[in-house]
A and B are shown apart, each in its own frame.
Chain A
């Protein structure tokens, strides 16, 4: 049962991910964004299969809910007609295909030699309490640096989007 769901979500993730960047039916940025939402939701499904419920909920709440909506907002405000008319660049397609092939070969070579299922067990089982504890003990320093990172992002956004002072 779990395996079925895994393959279902994994396939959905890959398919939607592909349709985000190279949708043969529509060059519309909004369509791409919608498929990105689907990708994110499928990823959340994979998290659920791993019993990481907290991460799954955060994934949907933050990415599908907030981040993607802001993405769409930007797409909506910018008029991206030109993007829609642009056709695929052959070179870009070839380059992307080559990158995929190379990485797939590398991954295949790596996985073929290593027995699966021997990986390390997770540090915490899904529960938000355990996750919080880990964040504030072992991973305190990266956590705090992340807050500086967010501050930098905020300052940067305000700086770059500020209206000119008259």
Chain B
């Protein structure tokens, strides 16, 4: 019974998903919106309930399969917030999409449950299964608009690349099991040093990293991101950008620091290299983009690089910075995708030209997009600035030990400067773009989307101005991971 209580949050999300799936059978299409609001309200309740969990150290359930600590809770709350926004976004844009909204809601909820399980995985079997739950759900969510060719193309690409990454993941797990004879994180952590030196174990861990790298969209596993971001429905893309990436990071952090600490030194250069390459690739490829979703796809690769810098420092400060960075990134990306969804609905396009005159057609959307872009660019006082600041500070501190971090710092700073160009290109298109033959009538934004956009904007500002509350939570989380 205690086991079920410990995984109550995930259980509640799963039950909500099943309930939505079943209720959808009996309700009329008009009531679907209500169903969506019901689901969002339930997620809100679950979010509040997450504060009732006060894990004293790490608590295990299901024979050590599942771990609940502050670190897991931090990410669960993160995923729940993302889920609520995504559901709001999908409910707000539902009338323009084809039927099956109930399924969209329940699939999103299942993906959410999968991400939350990722946050608590303490066994490689659970890690694999929960990641698969997330991935398989996203195959469907990406191809949800099945009459749009772009959506289907994105789904096929994501399916093939996702299957490849799963193959690496499961092969890595098999090698780790072959070398050590256990899948359990605690047993792996307490292995004798002789076993830890096994090269088969390292190879397995490397493949594990490849599998997680696909989820994080870090170079060289980034190939799918721009196409899938562009083709998928906006609410799916938002969830993918935030949730899938964070699921990769939560598992990376846990494996790196809690399960196989021997990897920390072994992977230092790997992590640094991947981080640097991700930033360079993401930033450089984003320059010529004219499609907003595609731009965000490349930006997501670059952001994975910044997050990896935080991880690569192998310090509590770095991990805290990464956690804070993720929180800021969450609201920023959500704000951007809410605007994109509305613009897409009204113009059918998401390139820069369709943004022209947006500040006249809807000042709210213009403001939301500006907020998001400014935050992504890392301008104070918004959340994006403070995230980058923390990450770079941690890298600077780590540079004392490994001079390589200075190089990384240089790449990151150059990346920020270059990214100013294209982020402000978006802002310029919004305020100073020349509208073509577009109908320039005002855009009416549905109230759920308005609420979501206002909330996201407030959160971006609040995180930037008063970062302490989140950094405190993040520090607590990192401490429970055993990092000093």
Contact = CB atoms under 8 A, between A and B. Distances in A.
Contacts of B21: 155
Interface residues of A, number: 30
Given A140-B62, A148-B14, 13 more contacts: A107-B203, A120-B177, A137-B63, A141-B61, A142-B65, A142-B126, A145-B126, A145-B130, A148-B110, A151-B110, A152-B140, A156-B137, A165-B99
A111 B204 CA distance: 12
A149 B103 contact: no
A151 B175 CA distance: 29
A42 to B, nearest CB: 18
Size range of the interface on B? 35 or more
Interface in A78-125: 106-107, 109-114, 119-121
26 contacts: A107-B203, A110-B175, A110-B200, A110-B203, A111-B199, A111-B200, A114-B198, A114-B200, A119-B178, A119-B181, A120-B178, A120-B182, A138-B65, A139-B65, A141-B62, A142-B65, A142-B126, A142-B129, A145-B117, A148-B110, A148-B113, A148-B114, A153-B136, A155-B103, A159-B100, A159-B146
Interface in B1-55: 7, 14, 21
Contacts of B99: 165
B202 A110 contact: yes
Interface of B is mostly: helix
B206 interface: yes
A67 interface: no
A150 to B, nearest CB: 9
A61 interface: no
Interface in A143-166: 145-146, 148-149, 151-153, 155-156, 159-160, 162, 165
> What are the 9 A-B residue pairs with the smallest beta carbon separation, nearest first?
A120-B181, A156-B140, A110-B203, A110-B199, A142-B129, A141-B62, A113-B199, A142-B125, A145-B129
B110 A160 contact: no
B179 interface: yes
Contacts of A137: 63
Interface of B: 7, 14, 21, 61-63, 65-66, 99-100, 103, 106-107, 110, 113-114, 117, 123, 125-126, 128-130, 132-133, 136-137, 139-140, 143-144, 146, 175, 177-182, 198-200, 202-203, 206
Given A139-B125, A145-B117, A145-B130, A155 B179 contact: no
A152 B66 contact: no
